[in-house]
Amino acid sequence: MSERWISDRLHKIDASGIRKVFDLAAQMKDPINLSIGQPHFDTPQPIKDALERAVEEGKNAYSQTQGISPLLKKIQDSVTQQWQHADRHVFITSGTSGGLMLALMTLVNPGDEVIVFDPWFVMYKHLVTLAGGKVVEIDTYPDFKIDVDKVRAAITPRTKVIICNSPANPTGAVAGAAELEALAQLAMEKDVALISDEIYKAFCYDGEFVSPAQWNPQTIVIDGFSKSHSMTGHRVGWCHGPQHVVQQMIKLQQFTFVCSPHPVQHAAVVAWDVDISDRVAEYKRKRNFMLGELRDLYEIQGAGGAFYLFPQAPWGTGTEFVKDAIQNDLLIIPGNVFSPRDTHFRLSYAADDRTLQRGVEVLKKLARKA
C-alpha cells in the first residue's frame, strides 16, 4: 500500500483524543469513566418500542432524503410556531454531526475562514479542514463568555461562517441573551453565516435556553435527539434555516448520507413527545454535586448546562494532570483536545452516582498534590 494514496486533507486531521481515551477504557478492568460525552441512561422505552415497531412493519428501506413526513411536520410546526420566520425550513439529518458536515460543506470554499470559540467542540476544526477552510479561534478564557468585539476584530473578507455552541461542549458554558444578540446582529451586519449548534439546549440549569435565531432569522440551527433522549447511536437530528441553504444541504445529503436511518426516524416521531424533564433534573443534581465537591479545590467556569465541567488543572499541564488521573483509574479528557491551550481538562458527569463519587475522591487526592 502506498502512502501517497492518502489525501492531504486526512493528513491534516489527527485521531480524536477522545477516541483514544475510549479505547483505553475498553482495556481497563474497572475504570472511573468520566470521559464519555453521552447520557448514562438508556433510550426511553417508548422510543425503543417505536423503533422495534418500525422495523417489524418493514420501514427499513431508504426514506426521502429530507426525512419522513410525520417527523418533518412535527418539527416544522414547532419551529414555525416558535420563530414565525417566513423563510425557515426543516430537514432531517444523520445526527447533528451529519448536519454540521453538510452545513460546512455547503457554505465553505477552500481558503474561507470559519470562526469558532476556543475551547471548541473537537469536530468543528476537523470538519472545517475537510471543507478546505481555515479555523479562526476566538479566545474565551477564563470565563468562556463570547466577546463580540474580539469576533468583530477577527472578521476578514474571507470570513464565511461563525459557529456558536450553547450550552457548550467542553465547558458547559451557556451564552447569555446579550452575548447572542450581539453575535447575531454582527453576523447579519457582516453578511456572515451563523451556525448555532443546539444539541444540548435541553440541559440549561440556571435559566432559559436562548438561540441566536431569535435575532438573526438567517441563523442555521443544528439540533438532534442524541443527548436529550440518549439516542447517540441512532443518528437522527434535524436542521432548520433559510431555504436556499437547506436545499443545498439536502442535495448534498442525497449523495452522502442518503438519509437518516429510516426506522429511527419513526422512533423520533415518538421521541419528540417524550418528557425528559426528569433526566434534566437528574443532571442538574449531578452538576450541583460535582461543583459542591470540587469548587474549593479547582477553578471551574462555565458549567451552566450540558453535562460537562472544564476545570483548570491545579498543577502541571492538562495533559500531565490527565496522565496522573489515568494512573489512578480516572478517565478524563485533556483540554488540548478542544483548544490550543493545555491548561484544563474535561470531565462528564453523565454517570451514575457511585462513579461520580469515586471520581471526586480521585480528583480531591490529585488536587492535594499541588
Q: pLDDT digits over 259-302, tens only?
A: 999 999 999 999 999 999 999 999 999 999 999 999 999 999 99
User: Contact 129/163 with Cβ under 8 angstroms?
Assistant: no
Q: Sign of the CA dihedral 211, 212, 218, 223?
A: negative
pLDDT of residue 322: 94
Is residue 1 scored above 70 in pLDDT? no
| Residue 219 grid coordinates | 441563523
341-354: buried (b, 16+ CB within 10 Å) or exposed (e) per residue?
Answer: ebbbbbbbbbbeee
Q: What pLDDT is attached to residue 12?
A: 80
* C-alpha span between 356 and 283 (Å, rounded): 12
β-bridge partners, 305: 204
Sort strands 330-331 and 32-33 into parallel, antiparallel or unpaired: parallel
d(CA 96, CA 197): 8
For the record, the C-alpha cell of 117 comes out as: 470559540
| Cα(155)–Cα(190) distance, integer angstroms | 8
Work out the percent of the chain whose per-residue pLDDT is above 70.
96
Which pLDDT value is given to residue 149? 98
- Cβ partners under 8 Å of residue 318, min gap 6: 334, 335, 336, 341, 342, 343, 344, 345
Query: Looking at residues 307-336, what average pLDDT do you find?
Result: 95
Q: pLDDT tens, 227-236?
A: 999 999 999 9
The three grid cell numbers given for residue 186, joined into one nine-digit string: 454582527
Please name the helix (run of DSSP H) or strand (run of DSSP E) that holds residue 184, with its range, or none.
helix 177-190
Distance between CA atoms of residues 141 and 146, nearest Å: 10
Residue 352: pLDDT over 80:
yes
The mean per-residue pLDDT over the stretch 72-95 comes to 95
Confidence label for 26 from pLDDT (cuts 50, 70 and 90): low
| Structural domains for the chain | 3-43+276-367 (3.90.1150.10), 59-271 (3.40.640.10)
pLDDT at 308 over 70: yes
- Helix residue ranges per DSSP H, 63-131: 69-83, 95-107, 122-130
Summarised one tens digit per residue, pLDDT across range 168-222 is 999 999 999 999 999 999 999 999 999 999 999 999 999 999 999 999 999 999 9
Model-level pTM?
A: 0.94
Q: Which residues contact 191 (CB under 8 A, 6 or more apart)?
A: none
The pLDDT score that the predictor gives to residue 29 is: 78
278 vs 370, higher pLDDT? 278
Task: State the chain's mean pLDDT as an integer.
Answer: 94
| C-alpha distance from residue 64 to each of 235, 254, 262 (Å) | 16, 9, 9
